[in-house]
Amino acid sequence: MSNLEGKSTQELIALVQSLEKELAAERSSKNHVRPKIAVMTSEVVDSNPYSRLMALKRMGIVENYEKIRTFSVAVVGVGGVGSLILFDYDKVELANMNRLFFQPHQAGLSKVEAASHTLSLINPDVDIECNNYDITTVANFDKFLDTLKTGGLQGGPVDIVLSCVDNYEARVAVNTACNELNIEWFESGVAENAVSGHIQLLIPGETACFVCAPPLMVASGVDEKSIKKEGVCAASLPTTMGIIAGFLVQNTLKKLLEFGDVTPYLGYIALKDFFPTMTLKPNPTCDDPYCRKRQQEFQSRPKKQVREDAKEEAAVVHDDNDWGITLVDETPAEDSSEGKDALLRSQWHQEAPQASAPPVEAESVVSGGDDVKSLMKRLKELNQS
């Protein structure tokens, strides 16, 4: 209290206001996590974080959105609901702030720890496992393989792997593990100039793996690490990152929940707003032995029979229709030939000129040589009258 002695009223008021600001900042820094939600519902209330997602089911887009809780997804490279297994060995830097959801006070933490903390605050319903090691080393690759093999919610393999790494070596490690375990995975990336990117679905044996068609620089035997120059970093545009990440998550949802078409390869060229798509076939002489093995297994399977989808589109049923609004088909019915003839006849009678009174007969009919003179005389009389 001795520190307050001798202070004026204005100084005391300023001190109280300063303490109130510090208290508010302290309270805001303590993030309050909502309790976990046991059952996903479509109830439209402000407190339901899944009401918008469950609307996809009500609109007939997704058959069973609750199924998302049964999936386990491994994310390699940290830069839904269910389970996330995060792999990365890098630390958060202030240079990462321009494109990631990390916060400045998390600088120095491992990326997986920082990501786990932030994601847990956003959605505590997600079970998150962190793996802070480099998957490209021989010692850690076996750990990575074992995690993918047993990381599912029921102790089985994960449902899908998302590769978000930025180098060829790490992509090959993911490719090798997924070929060996026969796990489907998505590969994604953004070019060094930050204005183009892509996502690619890789199904072992059915589509080309990442080693089937390596980049020209790697195929030429050039060490990838020798390409990087000291003091030079790749460009990073957060909008491009966001677009590619959005495509990746969207196609992952379509793949897991089985709705819509999943494009095998989708590119994005920002300078021209161009979205190229293609399908890459596997290389029979691929350097990866597990890729060749999966190709043989795929070739031995019975070919899928092309069948027409006999399901009729279910009518969209809305929960509330208090006004009894219904849709009426405004397509004109096909008229019969007799009906068309009758319609044409009625239209013709309406449009045809009506018969008038009998025409007045000419007062005189002239003929012979006096015709012209008689007409001229009559014309003069009319003009004078």
Neighbouring-strand partners of residue 200: 187, 265
For 211-238, what is the mean pLDDT? Answer: 64
Please tell me the predicted confidence (pLDDT) of residue 105: 67
Task: Answer yes or no: is pLDDT of 74 > 80.
Answer: yes
CA 13 to chain centre: 53
Count H helices and E strands in the chain, helices first. Answer: 11, 8
Task: Answer yes or no: is pLDDT of 332 > 80.
Answer: no
pLDDT tens across 112-162, in order?
Answer: 777 777 777 777 877 888 888 888 999 899 999 999 999 888 889 999 999
Alpha-carbon distances, residue 279 vs 76, 92, 125, 264, 303 (angstroms): 24, 36, 36, 6, 18
Cβ-Cβ contacts under 8 Å for 279 (sequence gap 6 or more): 207, 264, 265
CA dihedral 266, 170, 91, 197 (to 10 degrees): -20
pTM, full prediction: 0.62
Enclosing H/E stretch for 187: strand 185-190
Burial of 286 (0-12, 13-18, 19+ CB in 10 A): buried
Pick from 93, 98, 100, 129: nearest CA to 113: 129
Task: Answer yes or no: is pLDDT of 381 > 50.
Answer: yes
Q: Phi, psi at residue 300, to the nearest 5°? A: -80, -10
**Token digits of residue 248:** 């990746």
Is 233 part of the annotated catalytic residue set? yes
Q: What's the CA gap between 43 and 61, in Å, rounded?
A: 18
Catalytic residue among 130, 164, 233, 291: 233
Q: What's the CA gap between 236 and 250, in Å, rounded?
A: 22
The chain-wide mean pLDDT, for the chain, equals: 75
Place of tokens 């997704």: 62
The domain locations on the chain are 182-216+233-303
Q: What's the CA gap between 331 and 335, in Å, rounded?
A: 12
Q: Which is it for the CA torsion 281, 282, 283, 287, positive or negative?
A: positive
Q: Would you call 265 helix, strand, or coil by DSSP?
A: strand
pLDDT tens across 300-329, in order?
Answer: 988 764 444 434 444 555 556 666 666 666
Q: With respect to CATH, is domain 182-216+233-303 assigned 3.40.50.150?
A: no
pLDDT tens across 364-376, in order?
Answer: 444 445 566 777 7
Please tell me the predicted confidence (pLDDT) of residue 352: 45
Q: State the angle between helix axes of 289-300 and 168-181 in degrees (0 to 180), rounded to the nearest 10.
A: 40
pLDDT tens across 2-13, in order?
Answer: 566 667 788 888
